[in-house]
Copies of this chain bind each other. A is one copy, B any other.
Amino acid sequence: MRPTIKDIAERAGVSKTTVSFALNDPGRISAETRKRVMDIVAELGYVPDPVARALTTKRHGALGLLLPQPIHEALANPYLCEIVRGIGELCEERGLALTMLPPVKGAVIEAARRAAVDALLTIGVGPGTAVAELLHRRHLPFVTIDGDESATTVNVGIDDEAAAYALMRHILGLGHRRVAVLSLMPESYLDSAGDYSRVSCLRLAGFERALAELGLGLASPGIGVVAVEGSLEGGRQASLRLLSDGGRAPTAIVAMSDAAALGAYEACRELGLAIPRDLSVAGFDDIPNASLVYPPLTTVHQPGLEKGAAAATLALALLAGEAVGHRILSAELVVRGSTAAPRVGAPAPRS
């Protein structure tokens, strides 16, 4: 058995209290006694049990991140990686650990239940959800990232509607009229599964606003929305399908994630199409790779690092009992080489 505070106390001929003080609040006991205690501590290699300590102090020294998907999937997304890194900055500053909480057997709420952390960050959880309610009941301060803005929940995000509007405007401004949108798959998160996530909705609204300025809409002929997994593979398959659609293939693909956009790159490679000559491609997030691929990807820059850091900061403020409000960070359209005017006269390429 590994030594407990009691063993140290007995061995040193003092009470548990004294040992506790020697460790956590020296100065409240004589230097002499303290030395004796500390010697025993060193000799026995005593290490206070973090759990027992957390039970009484109500402090765990950890921040939690509630994930809507398994860790290996989440970190495959560079954008999420950036968010985690942003949270990491705060951890560094405050000497905290970071616990990533993936759904337990598919249930996010189960992960929320088990979280042994001081404060929690969530990705995409809305205020009305069971998860949010549970967190409130647990009195666990939490901040949502890319979630909803409501009175009961603090959120960090960008103006998705505006960003999407700018992006679509850019595409339409180039002259594209056959545009396919690769939307985000609905999160497994929402209780009312099946719907588009809030972020998707906002972005669709932004796209729609830009289209409306030309008298178009998401349902207009030539325009289309298809939900894909936010991965390279998801984007690739959807693009392959779209581009093989003979004369009705789009001249531009606008994805809600760079990963999916790069999937379109892959599809073009396979079909022998050149970007942006045969197809314009745009993404969302501005992952590190976006500027490294050829041609560099036109996308909306998301401040992932800042988002993570801001969310952690707010959560910690909440924990400290401060009143905090939502935080909207700025996102910017970054026009690079993957978008250009459609080829005039040339019909959509066939595979």
Contact = CB atoms under 8 A, between A and B. Distances in A.
A28 interface: no
Contacts of A73: 88
Interface in A276-304: 288-289, 292-294
Contact of A91 (B47, B86, B102): B102
A71 B87 contact: yes
Contacts of A87: 71
Interface stretch (A133-141, A215-223, A236-244, A327-335): A133-141
A51 interface: yes
A95 B84 contact: no
A52 B55 contact: yes
Number of copies: 2
A251 B167 CA distance: 45
A36 interface: no
A218 to B, nearest CB: 33
A179 interface: no
Contacts of A84: 71, 75
A112 to B, nearest CB: 9
Contact of A88 (B45, B92, B102, B139): B102
A61 B72 CA distance: 17
A48 to B, nearest CB: 8
Given A91-B102, A97-B101, A138-B47, A116 B54 contact: yes
A205 interface: no
Contacts of A100: 88, 97-100
Given A45-B133, A97-B101, 15 more contacts: A45-B137, A47-B134, A60-B116, A71-B84, A72-B86, A72-B92, A73-B88, A75-B84, A81-B81, A88-B102, A95-B105, A97-B102, A97-B115, A99-B100, A289-B292
